[in-house]
Structure formats: structure tokens, C-alpha cells
Amino acid sequence: MKNKTERFPGRASFLRYELKGSTGFFIASMLLSAFVTLADLINPRIISCVIDYVLSELPLPESGIESELIRLFGGPAYIRERLYITALLVIFAALIGAAARYAQSITNTAGAERLVKRMRNTLFSHVDRLSVKWYGENSTGDILQRCTSDVETVKQFVSSKLTSFIRIIMLIALSMFFMSGIDLTLAFIAAAFIPVIVGYSMYFHTRIGNIFMKADVQEGVVSSIVQENLTGIRVVRAFGKEAYECDRFISENSDYTNMWIRMMRLMSFFWSAGDLISGLQVMIVVIMGAVYCVNGVITPGNYVAFISYNAMLIWPVRELGRTIADLSRAGVSMDRIRAILNARKEDLSDEPASFGDVQEPLIEFSDVSYTYNGSTYALRNIDLHINKGEKIGIIGGTGSGKSTLADLMTRMCGGQGLTGNITYRGKDITEYPLAAYRRQFSSVLQEPFLFSGTISDNIGIAAEDISPERIRSAAEKAALLPAIEKFTDGFDTFVGERGVTLSGGQKQRCAIAAALARDCEVLILDDAFSALDAQTEAQVRKNIFAELDGRTAVIISHRISTIAGCDRIYVLDGGRICAHGTHQSLISQEGIYRDIYELQK
Amino acid sequence: MVTISRPYTKSMIIMIVTGFICSACDSVFPLFNRYALDHFAAEHTLDTLGIFIALYIAVLAVQVAGNYISAAICGRIEVSVNRDLRDSSFRHIQKLSLSYFNSNSIGAIHSRVMSDTSKIGETVSWKLMDIVWCGSYLISILISMAIISPELFAAILVLILCAALFTAFFQRRLIKVNRLIRQQNSVITGDFNQTVTGIKAVKSMSVEARMEKELFSDTEKMRRHSVRAGHISAFFSAAVGMVSALALSVILYRGGALTIEGVMLIGTLSVFMSYALGMIEPIQHIVMTLSEFAAIQASLERYNELMSTSSDVSDTEAVFEKYGDEFEPKTENWEAVNGDIEFDHVSFTYPDGDIPVLTDFSLKVPKGSMVALVGETGAGKSTLVNLVCRFYEPTSGRVLIDGRDIRERSVKWLHSHLGYVLQTPHLFSGTVRDNLRYAKPDATDEEIRGALAAVSALDIAEQLENGLDSRVGEGGCTLSTGQKQLISFARAVLADPDILILDEATSSVDTITEKKIQSAIKKLTGGRTSFVIAHRLSTIADADIIIAVKDGMIAEQGTHAELLNKKGVYYELYTRQHEDIDRVVTDRI
């Protein structure tokens, strides 16, 4: 799959790009975390000195930093009289530690949030510009998961896992340094367990990670059954399939549950086995330390300090194994995100385009064939031309390629699978910058889509800084005004997932209003009146035609009445143009058009 | 929450008891160090080392075993509760009336079934376990401290209370910010969702840059909220670290003095120090978990709200006795349907509306007749159909099938005799064959092909890459609207219903195909009663009864000829549409 044109050929290049702007924070956070670790490791030293030299009155060694410091504070006997000095010392160390911890934590958050913001932004900018064809090849649920939970995984990994990884390494190094300062053999015994615990925990987390993914997939199955049942509830009811759906749900849900029960058992086993291993390590350190202490190899204070250091090590070491195991999971997430970012996006840069002066024909298809999948052709040998200001009708059976024709025109599809030439104002359509080219068109889609927002947001969606008057007049022309006025909030009524539900006809009229509110050269109506009754349709159509004012319109429909007034009508059958002409000429000759006309008359 | 976890009471008790034992063991370990210091080191002897090791291993073994048991049980309770809640809410959804789905967004219901349940499951298991673990650990170290040195114990207790108050204070603020973060997160997910599902609309409107700008501002908002939360929790963890240092300094100061006086041994001092360091985490945990309990309350309420919603339409006890319900239908008691339908003085107002849609409406539909409903977009043509399907029940009056009130027999009985084809077709992800078999699980390929052929969709199905085995994608997204309508039509045909309802079933299908379907359906419906909602009047001219609806009211009814003579609403609709083509051609509109 790898090739030179990929935006991010590897994980490193991906991370490098996404970390721009947050690297500094992460480096600062790591340096600070070294400081925090150091501050944490001071306490056991203080305690050890207090126990040995102040409380137990062991002789102070001649040299060494600790001895120097104790003398600086007035010597053991002086401190013995004034124990508050030690208490203040602990508080002082804690204050420094707390300040460092605070600074570390906020720099890390700042870095993490910058990173995740950048990741989301780059992803969205990319997803936003991927072709319709790409969407056809990828499932929506999967794309969304990559944009949300995979992003979260990568963020978690960089901000918490990677920094804690560095901190743990530092902690191990520093505490081993202090521990071996107390006693080398004892330190060696404690250290011997580290690879065992890390290795064990790595093994466990890799294994559990795989099961985790399977359970995730199964949860997706359960979730999509719920989703399907909610969107298709009427179908479920109409076919009386309640019991069937329940059985299906219960069986998938119980598979999912059993997966988790197995996983929980496994996890509990691994956890407690991990507890056992680390418990044994602590035990051996405690016993060996006690023996050394009795034999006078180490002082009681050092014994206490050693055990504290060891206790501090245990959790981070266990975490280390997990972090390493998560590495592969984060890697998978990164790859999944990269796969999106490496897909070729459409070039929608805002370069100005100059459109030629050629107006006859405005749009021309010469011998155009198109296939989506490389085997069956959606369109074959299409020849058509559209002049400026013309109204062009397209009619044809279900699946005859009407929408594909419109999609080719607006460059929603094309590229591979396309043969023949499509020109706009005399130049091949691919020669124009895509964004500017698409802005020449305003389309109403077969299945209207509402953006979440108010009705007026939806009508003005494609037009920047549109005036309320213009929105109102667009709604009026689309015969939507009466419906809007019935809502208590009028134009400010929220629609979409979190708002009121519009009927199919209302949605269609809303999409028509949005298309009318926008300046364009060519208006495309793809079966845009299917949910409207004849009367409303006639009214809307009249308004649209009046609005055209020299602009071009392409109208796809099943209804003769919708397109009968067009300057030229193309009749599609099985991906080919089987007839074209005006309404009059088409009904005067035998063929599909006349059949349809007879039926609808 | 109590009722939810009732089936698991026994497991929960075991979990709590073992959890308690574990924590008690945990708090014992520092005592070993104490013994080592005060006995072995202080007296320079290793006399009891054997017993020491044996005891240590024993405590460790009990702790490890306890951990295993409590964690395994806890996990099992979590997923089982989760499963129970999801199962019962899913079942409940299947019983709710359609009006519920009209007034609640799919996303909201979905999250009740999927995420609220899992939060509740987590609460009754892990959250509870956390409290047990941390609580018993705290209690046992407190007891142990009180026994060893009441004076130090009192000082530590004050600090513990400080830490708890501290945590509670920060936690409340954190929860607030976190709520903002969650909301913002769902806004961002919504942004992605909108663009991904509506990509074609985005592109045809050329609003890529605008959508992008919106997302950029949303992610920036998210960053600001998260950084604020980060500040709070950073300050919090630093402050809690300070509390633990304070505890340590108190012990060094007072405990040190006691050691010098000879009242306390060094080992005991070290025990206190380990306790001081070890107690902070459990305190944090308990307080956090308790405040999370408050947050989980919202999930519980949402779930209960769903479960306590009762269907507007439900069968009476007597009906249930005889006919069974959706899940255990007593098909042996089901009568066949003849097909006479009668509206008997029916009045109806939608639950969320205040204007009556039907007032004292009476109509007899003899077996085998075709009733057409016509009228402007949004005029309320679906109301009669909704009543026949018993998606809603009349406010007063009765709907009768074969002379008996529709309520005398079960909803399931009714639906099993109905075929309903919707304007917005819904296909299930799966193959074309799967979708057809939805109507008749044991349908042979012959029957499936027959049904497809009846609606002229056989060519379409066979032209798909894998024929009947082609996958239609989520919601049938790989097919055009017309194709989806045909397949869902074929599905209804395969179900072979006694009463057929076509709600603009072919609005996106071309006229020639529609005509073919009509003649096929006419043969098919033969003696069946059917209701047809249509825009194209040519398709319903030969209906037995035409009902014209205007502004949500029934304006007139009669046959095509009668209504034309009446020169009313229908006449207007009809002439308009009929003249339309000619007018369009001459006026070029």
C-alpha cells in the first residue's frame, strides 16, 4: 500500500506533524517530572537520617552530603532537641515537590490538549475534503470511530503513557541509585524482579488487549442492533418482529457479556498473579533487609528508607509493562488515523478560476461512459449539451443513471471509471479548480440532508452573510413559509438530530430553499419534488423558473409535469440516452417518454 | 439501584467480605516491618525468622486469593447487571408506542440503552468495590493506629478529614468542568457525524470550509475547558500531596519525640509513616467515588424514565390472556382476518397536539376495497392509517375490524395481518435476501424472486454485483431511494398480508415501473383491503373510496366520479394536476 504520494508514510512522520506546537510542552513536562521524582525520593532519605542519627544516636559518618547537611542544621544533638526542624524540612521538600508537580501537570495538559486539538482539526479538514467515492468505500461507523476514539487513544498515549514512561524510567534509575547507595546486594535483589514484573505485565496486557479488541467489535454489533431497531422501528412493528429482534439482541448481548466474563476472570487471575509476584519481591526485600539489619550491614534508618524506595518502585514497574503493551494499541490507532489522512483528498483550495466566455454549449458530454466498480456501467456513451439559460429535463427509470449524470456534472464522482469528455464553457471540467467549479452549481439532492441548527441556518448554509430577508424570500419561493410559521420559533426552530423532525416534504422544501438562497450558474434538482404534492410542486416550480433569470437548470424527475416545460428533455434508459427533444417532439414519437406521458396523463 | 442488583445479592456479599479481608491484609504488611525493626534489628536476633516468613506468606496468600475472588465476582456482577439492564430496556423499547420515538431523538434513546446501562453496571460493581476496598483499608489502619498510639491517631484523623473535605471541594468543581467537557465532546462528535453522514450535502453546498471553521472553534473551546479541568486537578493533586507531607511531618515531630522519650519504638514510628503515606489514596478514592455516585444518579433517572414510560397503546389483561403478547403470542387463538374495517364515530387528537384531527368520523370499508387518501403535503393523510395500524388509539369512538373493536384483540395479532410500506424505506444491513426474509424467515429463493418480480425489482436485484447476496449497507445506503422503496415493497408483498397499507410507497419509483407494480398489486390484493396514500392522482383514480384531506381534517369522501362532480377539494387537486402538463407545456413553467 505504501507509495511516495502518501502524506504520512510512517507513524513517526504522523507524530512529528501532529506534535507541532505541543512538543515544547511535552519536553518541559518531562523535565519537570524528573524534578518531581527527585523531590519524592528525598523524603525516605530524611526519614532515614532522622531515625539513624537523631533518634537512634548512631555516630554520624565523617564525610558525605548527608553528614554535611546535618552539621549545617546544628548536628544530631541540636536537632534532637528541636524535632520541628525535621518536620519543616519534610514540608519544605513537599512544597517544592508540589510546585513541581503542579507545573508538570499543567504543562502536560496544555501539550495534550494542543495535540488532540491539532489531530482533530487535521482529521476534520481531511475528512471534509475526501471524495464521495471514498465514503462509498468506507463505513460511516468506522470513520467516526477513527475520528473519535482512535484520536483519544493516541492522545492518551502521548500525553499520559509516553510521559509516564519517561517518568517511570527516571524513577527506576534514581531509586536504584539511592538503593544501591544503601546496599549494593540488596539493590541487586530488588532489581532482579523488575524485568520479571515488566515482562509479565507486558505479556498480560498484550494478551488482554487482543481480547479487548474482539469485545469492542462485539459491542459494536450490539450497539448497531439498537441503532437499527430505533431507526427502523416502524418496519419492526409492521412485520411483528419484536420477539425476533429481542432474541437477536439478547443472543448478541449475551455473547458480548460472556466475552467480558471470560475476560474478567482472566484479568482477575493476571492481576492477582501480578500481586503475588510483586508481593513476593517485597517480602524478600523485607526479610533480606531485616537480616542485613541484624547483621549490621545496614542501619535501621536505611532499612526503612530502602523499603520505602522499593514500595515506590512496585506500581510504576507494573505500569511500565502495561505502557509497553499499550504501545501496540496506540500504534494500531495511529495507523487507522493515518489510513484516513493518506487517502487522496479533493483539492478545494481557494484559487480563483477564470471561466471562459464560451456559452454555447455551457456543459457538454461527449461519448461519456462511467462505471463505479469497473464492471457494470452506470452510464454509456452519453452525448448531451446544455446551453446557458436552458432548462434541461432528465427522465428515466429507477437506476437508469440520472443521479450519476448529475454527480459527474458536479464532479462528485469521476476520475477512474470515466471515459469520454465533459466540458464546461469549452474547457474540460477537470481543468478548473474544484472548489470554484462546484460553486457554479447549486444542487438539491434526492435525499435531503438537514444540518443541525435552525431552519434559517439551513437555508443560508451555503451563502455567507445572507440577510434574513433573503432567507425569508427563499423559504417563500420554496413554499416553506406556511410550515415555518406554524412552528413557535419560526425561522429559529432547531432542526436535525436534536431539534424538531421535519416531514419528508418539509425537508425537501428546506433543501430547495437552501439551493435558491445561493448564487450559482447552474441549478440542479435531483428528484427534488418527490415528496411534494402536485399543487405545491407546481407552485415551487413556477417560483424557481421565475427566479432562474437567465441561469441554467437541470431537472431530474419521474413526473412529466415537472420537466414538460424544459427546453430539452433527455430520456435515460439503462445508462444510455434513448431519446431527447422537447416535450412536444417526444410525445409525437413512440418510446418510453410517450409511455410515461400516457400513464401520467 | 437495589432492585437492579437484587439477583446478585449473594455474589455481592461474598465480594464485599473478601474485599474487606484483602484490605485488612493490606494494612497488616507495615506491621511486619515494625516487627523486623523492633524485634530483629533492635534485639539483634533472628530467632523467630521462620515463623515471620511463614506468617508473611500466609497473609500474602490470603490477600492474593481474596483479590482474585473479589475482582472476578465484581467483574461478573458488572457485566451481568449491564446485560440485564440492556436486555430489559431493549425489550421495553419493543413495546413502546411509536409516539415515543417521534418525541425522543434516536441518539438519546440509544445512549439510554447502551451507555447509561453500562454506567449503572459499573457503579454497582467496581465503584461499590472501590468503596469497600478503600473504606476497609482506611478503617483497619485507623484501628491499628488507635491501638498503637491514640495521640498520633487523633492528629492523623484531623488530617484525614481535611483531605476528605479538600477532595470533596475539588471534586465538585471538577465534575462541573467535566460535564462541560463531555458536552463539548459530543458537539465535536456531532460535527464529525454530520460531515461524515451528510458528505454529499456538504459537497454540493460547497460548505467544507464553513464546517471546518465551526469544528475549529469547537475544538478550541474543548481545549480551553480541558485545560481548565487540568488546572483544577493539577492543583488538587499537588494539594493532596501536601496533606500527606503534613501527616508525615506531624509523625516525625510528635512520634520522634515519643521515640526519644522511649514511649515508642522506631518500628512503630515507621509503621505510622507508611500509614501516613498510604492513607491518602484511599481517601481520594472514596470521596471521588461518592461524588461520582451523585453523577450516576442522572443515568439512573434517565434509565428509569425510559422503563417507566408506558405504551399509549397496550392490550388489556383479558386480551393478553387470550392472544398473548409480542413475545409469547398465543397464535392458536388468533382469528383469521376477513378485511372489513369500520370507523365508528372516531374522534382523534394527537397526544402532542391540541386540535382534533378527526371529529366523529364514521366510515365503512368493506372487505377488498381500496381506500385512497389524497391531499396536500403535510395535510395529515397518515392519521387514518395510524389508527388502522393501531399506532395510535382513537380519543373516542372505535375502529372495528370484521365487526370487532380493534382493542379486543392484541396489537401483535393486528400487525401480523398488516403489510405496511413506507415512503422512507428502511432496510437492515445485510443482504437483499436477508431483508426480504425479514417478512418471512423461511421464504425460499423462488418466493423471494416472485415477490421481487411482483414489484418489478427482480432485474434490479439481479443486476447487483452478487444478486440476492449483495449487501445493502447500513440502512441500505448502497441503493438508490427508488431501489430501496422497491425492495421494501417486495418485502411487504412476501409477507402476504390481509390488509395492505401503502404510504407513498413508490414516490421515488419511475412511472412505468409504478404502473407495472400497480397491475401486479391489483392481482395480488384481490380480496384484500388496502389503504393507499398517493401524490399522483392517476394512480388512485379507480379506488373504491377516495378520502380528500385538507388542513388535517377530512374534507370529503367518495368515489372518483362522485368527488369530481362535487367540484370540491378533490376536484381542485385533480384538475390542477391534470391540466398541469398541458399548462406547463404552453406556459413553460
Q: Which A residues in the span 162-221 are in contact with B, Cβ-Cβ below 8 Å?
A: none
| A127 and B240 Cβ atoms separated by less than 8 Å | no
Which residue is it, cell 437492515?
A: B428
Angle in degrees, CA A22, A24, A28, rounded to 5: 120
What pLDDT is stored for residue A498 in this prediction? 58
Q: C-alpha grid cell for residue B438?
A: 425479514
Q: A115 CA to chain B: closest CA distance, Å?
A: 10
- Distance between start and end Cα atoms, chain A: 56
Q: Which B residues in the span 239-278 are in contact with A, Cβ-Cβ below 8 Å?
A: 239, 241-242, 244-246, 248-250, 252-253, 256-257, 259-260, 266, 269-270, 273-274, 277
The rounded distance, in Å, linking the Cα atoms of B484 and B472 is: 9
Among A89-93, B41-45, B83-87, B475-479, whose mean pLDDT is lowest? B475-479
Q: Do the bridges between strand B341-348 and strand B418-421 make them parallel or antiparallel, or are there none, so unpaired?
A: unpaired
Q: Quick one: average pLDDT of A195-203? A: 87
Domain A449-519, what fold? Answer: Rossmann fold (3.40.50)
Domain A11-341, what fold? Answer: ABC transporter transmembrane region fold (1.20.1560)
> Nearest CB to B83: which of A253, A395, A410?
A253
β-partners of residue A369 are A419
- Chain A hits for B48, Cβ within 8 Å: none
State the DSSP string of A124-137. Answer: HHHHTTB-HHHHHH
The rounded distance, in Å, linking the Cα atoms of A220 and A204 is: 24
The beta strand positions in B161-207, using DSSP E, are none
Q: C-alpha grid cell for residue B249?
A: 511531618
CB within 8 Å: A105 and B67: no
> Nearest CB to A261: which of B32, B75, B391?
B75
Among A365-374, B340-349, B523-532, whose mean pLDDT is lowest? B523-532
Q: B157 CA to chain A: closest CA distance, Å?
A: 18
B291/A contact by beta carbon, under 8 A? no
**Interface A-B: count of C-beta contacts within 8 A:** 499
CATH for B420-496 is 3.40.50.300
Give the best-scoring range by mean pLDDT among A154-168, A222-236, A283-297, B357-371.
A283-297
A488/B contact by beta carbon, under 8 A? no
Using pLDDT thresholds of 50, 70 and 90, give the confidence band for residue B583: low
Q: Which A residues in the span 80-99 are in contact with B, Cβ-Cβ below 8 Å?
A: 80, 83-84, 86-88, 90-91, 93-95, 97-99
Q: A181 CA to chain B: closest CA distance, Å?
A: 20
pLDDT per residue as tens digits for the range A364-411 = 999 999 988 777 888 999 999 999 989 999 998 877 888 889 999 999
- Chain B hits for A396, Cβ within 8 Å: 510
- Chain A hits for B443, Cβ within 8 Å: none
CB within 8 Å: A279 and B210: no
Tell me how far the alpha carbon of residue A462 is from its chain's centroid.
24
The rounded distance, in Å, linking the Cα atoms of B186 and B169 is: 27
For the four alpha carbons of A114, A120, A123 and A127, in that order, the dihedral sign comes to: negative
Q: C-alpha grid cell for residue A420?
A: 469520454
| A406 and A363 Cβ atoms separated by less than 8 Å | no
Q: Which B residues in the span 63-92 are in contact with A, Cβ-Cβ below 8 Å?
A: 63-65, 67-69, 71-72, 74-76, 78-80, 82-83, 86-87, 90-91
Q: Do the bridges between strand A391-396 and strand B404-405 make them parallel or antiparallel, or are there none, so unpaired?
A: unpaired
CB within 8 Å: A223 and B110: yes
- Chain B hits for A304, Cβ within 8 Å: 33, 37, 266, 270, 273
**A115 φ/ψ angles, rounded to the nearest 5 degrees:** -60, -50
CB within 8 Å: B46 and A597: no
Please report which residue ranges of B251-265 form alpha helices under DSSP H: 256-261
B314/A contact by beta carbon, under 8 A? no
Q: Quick one: average pLDDT of B125-150? A: 88
For the entire predicted model, the pTM comes to: 0.81
Give the best-scoring range by mean pLDDT among B61-70, B149-158, B234-243.
B61-70
The rounded distance, in Å, linking the Cα atoms of A513 and A471 is: 8
CB within 8 Å: B212 and A236: no
B17 Cβ partners below 8 Å, 6+ apart? none
**A519 φ/ψ angles, rounded to the nearest 5 degrees:** -80, 135
pLDDT per residue as tens digits for the range B440-483 = 888 899 999 998 988 888 888 888 878 889 888 766 767 777 88
Using pLDDT thresholds of 50, 70 and 90, give the confidence band for residue A2: very low
Q: Which B residues in the span 366-425 are in contact with A, Cβ-Cβ below 8 Å?
A: 375-378, 389, 391, 412, 415-416, 418-420, 422-424
CB within 8 Å: B508 and A564: no
pLDDT per residue as tens digits for the range A88-102 = 999 999 899 899 989
The rounded distance, in Å, linking the Cα atoms of A404 and A370 is: 8
The beta strand positions in B444-528, using DSSP E, are 499-503
Q: Quick one: average pLDDT of A533-554? A: 87
The rounded distance, in Å, linking the Cα atoms of A468 and B243 is: 59
A448/B contact by beta carbon, under 8 A? yes
The rounded distance, in Å, linking the Cα atoms of A275 and A197 is: 10
> Residue B3 above 90 pLDDT?
no
The rounded distance, in Å, linking the Cα atoms of A555 and A537 is: 13
Q: B578 CA to chain A: closest CA distance, Å?
A: 7
CB within 8 Å: A435 and B206: yes
What pLDDT is stored for residue A1 in this prediction? 38
The rounded distance, in Å, linking the Cα atoms of A433 and A126 is: 17
| B175 and B228 Cβ atoms separated by less than 8 Å | no
Q: Do the bridges between strand A552-556 and strand A391-396 make them parallel or antiparallel, or are there none, so unpaired?
A: parallel
Q: Is the peptide bond before A361 cis (omega within 30 degrees of 0)?
A: yes
> Nearest CB to A283: which of B41, B56, B587?
B56
Q: B362 CA to chain A: closest CA distance, Å?
A: 25
| B322 and B329 Cβ atoms separated by less than 8 Å | no
* DSSP run (H or E) holding A259: helix A242-294
The rounded distance, in Å, linking the Cα atoms of B345 and B381 is: 18
What pLDDT is stored for residue B548 in this prediction? 87
> Would you list the domain boundaries of chain B?
1-149+299-310, 150-263, 420-496
The rounded distance, in Å, linking the Cα atoms of A299 and A301 is: 5
The rounded distance, in Å, linking the Cα atoms of A50 and A36 is: 22
Q: C-alpha grid cell for residue A164?
A: 509516564
pLDDT per residue as tens digits for the range A454-490 = 899 999 888 778 899 999 999 999 999 988 888 888 8
Q: B122 CA to chain A: closest CA distance, Å?
A: 13
Please report which residue ranges of A431-568 form alpha helices under DSSP H: 434-438, 455-459, 468-477, 481-486, 504-516, 534-548, 560-563
The rounded distance, in Å, linking the Cα atoms of B427 and A228 is: 9
B169/A contact by beta carbon, under 8 A? no
CATH for B1-149+299-310 is 1.20.1560.10
Which residue is it, cell 430496556?
A: B89
> For residues B372 and B526, which has the higher predicted lDDT (pLDDT)?
B372
B237/A contact by beta carbon, under 8 A? yes
B160 Cβ partners below 8 Å, 6+ apart? B138, B142, B279, B283
- Tell which of A48, A128, A437 to mutate to test the B interface (max B CBs under 10 Å): A128
Q: B581 CA to chain A: closest CA distance, Å?
A: 4
Using pLDDT thresholds of 50, 70 and 90, give the confidence band for residue A314: confident
Q: Quick one: average pLDDT of A428-457? A: 88
| A578 and A571 Cβ atoms separated by less than 8 Å | yes
> Nearest CB to A234: which of B98, B199, B237?
B98
pLDDT per residue as tens digits for the range A142-169 = 888 889 888 988 988 888 888 788 888 8
Q: C-alpha grid cell for residue A323?
A: 505502557
Q: C-alpha grid cell for residue A495?
A: 432542526
Tell me how far the alpha carbon of residue B45 is from its chain's centroid.
67
Among A11-20, B381-390, B508-517, whose mean pLDDT is lowest? B508-517
> What is the residue-averaged pLDDT of chain A?
87
> Nearest CB to A560: which of B53, B65, B581?
B581
> Residue B485 above 90 pLDDT?
no
What pLDDT is stored for residue B579 in this prediction? 65
CA-based nearest residue in chain B for residue A452: B194
| B462 and A399 Cβ atoms separated by less than 8 Å | no
What pLDDT is stored for residue A524 in this prediction? 94
Q: Quick one: average pLDDT of A524-531? A: 88
**3-state SS class at A479:** coil
Using pLDDT thresholds of 50, 70 and 90, give the confidence band for residue A170: confident
**B363 φ/ψ angles, rounded to the nearest 5 degrees:** -160, 135
What pLDDT is stored for residue A572 in this prediction? 93
pLDDT per residue as tens digits for the range B270-314 = 888 888 878 878 887 888 788 777 778 888 888 999 999 888 777
Residue A415 to residues A80, A430, A491, Cα–Cα distance (Å): 86, 9, 40
Q: C-alpha grid cell for residue A521?
A: 450558474
Q: Quick one: average pLDDT of B551-564? A: 84
**B579 φ/ψ angles, rounded to the nearest 5 degrees:** -70, -25
What pLDDT is stored for residue A81 in this prediction? 87
A69/B contact by beta carbon, under 8 A? no
